Amino acid sequence: MRKVLTIFFLSLICTTLAAQKVTFMPQWTAQAQFAGFYVAKEKGFYEDEGLDVTIKHIGNTSTETVMDQLLSGKVDIAEQQLLPSMIERSEGAKLVNVWQLTQVCALCAVAKKPLSTPEDLEGMTIGRWTTAYIELADVLQIINGINAKWVSAFNPVTLFMYGAIDATLCTSYHELNSILLKKGNIPEENILRFSEFGFNSPEDGLYVTEKYYKRNKPAIEKFVRASRRGWDYARQNVKEALEITRKYTDEGHVITNDVMQEHMLKEYLKLIVNPDTGVADYAPVKEDVFINLNKLLYDIGYITRHLDYKEMIKCEE
């Protein structure tokens, strides 16, 4: 009996001391958009919190979304945008936001001809991604009364560069710069930044299932704490963060270059800054913003039930 008890306590101690395994999935293939998480991993910030984090990327030709991976339990924590997460939750997915990273909207549109308002996209063939900003594109189309032909693609920018489409959605931190690096120069009047037209919702945040949240709240807090440390470090050590990112892009066979990644990280770090406070404080999504978004989605029929702020937003101040 003594032997059994000894074995039981030893195994209990080992289980307690062993690092908790966490699988994390960013919303796209490896790039500097996720540099803070790579830094936290490579600099041992997750280990410091007693976490054994595995960063897993989604395939660049897969239509399976990060949310699919999260909801199916293939990953524990996923990085996702607020809007699609709200839609998923309205459709029954038990998702909660545990940390908000970016504070503003990075979505742009680039066209072959000048774009002064979203209405100028009327009638155009517009490229968009298969997994990101889909809902936002629809929302924008609906609220602006635009009748455009959307083309979903893994690389809408390539379609635009070949001249196969009239315009493409892009982010200010990635594709816009990618186009500039390829085409040389694009007139500023051909770029439409949606944040300048009343649509400036927060985007990237960390999401877990309610089930995971209830069972692993301490681990989630540790993950958020280490991730925040990673992002703070990346903000202060851009060069090193880029070198770390490069390891992940190389491993993922991502066709990119240093200039693009550097630009991406620098632009992305701007999105982290809270426009209300002027600092990167990783503030939770504000309740009024959440309610307004909820109302908008409901009004245009994108969701069929209202969401509760406190049920979904579980960020710690």
Partner 1 sequence: MRGIRSFSTRLSLNIVYFTSILFVITLGIVAVSSTRLISEEAETSSRHLLRSSILQIEKTLKSVEATVEACSWDVAEDIYRPDKLFSYTQSVVKESKIIRGFGIAFASDYFEGKKYFCPYSYKDSEGNIHTRNIQGPEYNYFYSDWYLLPSLMKEPVWTEPYHGDAGLGVPIITYCYPLLDEENNVYAVLVADAPVQWMADITKDIKPYPNSEVFLYGISGSYISLGNDSRYDGETLLSVALQSQDAAKAHAVCEVIINNDNGIIKFTDEGQRTKFMVFGSLSNGWKAAISCEYREVLKRAWKMNFNMIIIAIFGLIILFIICYTTIRRLTQPLMEFSKTAMSIAEGNFNTALPKINSDDEVKDLRDSFEHMQTSLNSYIKELQSTTAVKERIQSELNIASSIQMSMLPKNFPDHNLVDIHALLKPAREVGGDLYDFYLDGDLLYFIVGDVSGKGVPAAMFMTVARTSFRFAASMEVPVNEIVSAMNNAACEGNDSNMFVTLFVGKVNLKTGDMEYCNGGHNPVVLVTPDGKPAFMDVKPNLAIGLFPDFPYVAQSMHVESGSRFVLYTDGVTEAERADKQQYGDGRLLAWAEGIQKMDSSEEACESLFSSVKAFVEGNEQNDDITIMIIKIQ
Chain contacts with partner 1 (rule: CB under 8 A): 59, 61-64, 125, 130, 151-155, 158-159, 161-165, 180-185, 253-260
Query: Closest CB to partner 1 among 62 and 277?
Result: 62
Least Cβ distance, residue 179 to partner 1 (angstroms): 8
Smallest gap from Cβ 171 to partner 1, in A, equals 17
Kindly provide the residue ranges of all beta strands, DSSP E only, lying in the chain, ordered along the sequence. Answer: 20-25, 51-55, 77-81, 95-100, 107-111, 125-128, 149-152, 167-171, 191-193, 204-209
Listing DSSP states for 141-206 in one string gives: HHHHT---EEEE-S-HHHHHHHTSSSEEEEETTTHHHHHHHHHS---GGGEEEGGGGT-----EEE
User: CB atoms < 10 A from the CB of 224, how many?
Assistant: 18
- Closest to partner 1 by CB, 222 or 246: 246
- Phi, psi (rounded to 5 degrees) for 315: -70, 145
User: Quick one: 253 or 310, whose CB is closer to partner 1?
Assistant: 253
CB atoms within 10 A of CB 298: 15
Minimum distance from residue 25 beta carbon to partner 1 (Å): 15
Q: Minimum CB separation from partner 1 for residue 188, in Å?
A: 17
Would you say 13 and 58 are in contact if contact means Cβ atoms under 8 Å apart?
Answer: no
Q: Which residue lies nearer to partner 1 by CB, 208 or 241?
A: 241
Q: Compute the least distance from the CB of residue 131 to partner 1, in Å.
A: 10
Q: Which is nearer to partner 1, 162 or 188 (CB)?
A: 162
Residues in the chain: 317
CB nearer to partner 1: pick between 201 and 256: 256
CB 110, min distance to partner 1, A: 13
Phi, psi of 153 (to 5 degrees): -150, 155
Nearer to partner 1, 257 or 277 (CB): 257
Q: What are the tokens at 91? A: 């459709």
User: Exposed e or buried b for every residue in 76-97, given b needs 16+ CB within 10 A?
Assistant: bbbbbbbbbbbbbbbeebbbbb
Least separation in angstroms between CB 66 and partner 1: 14
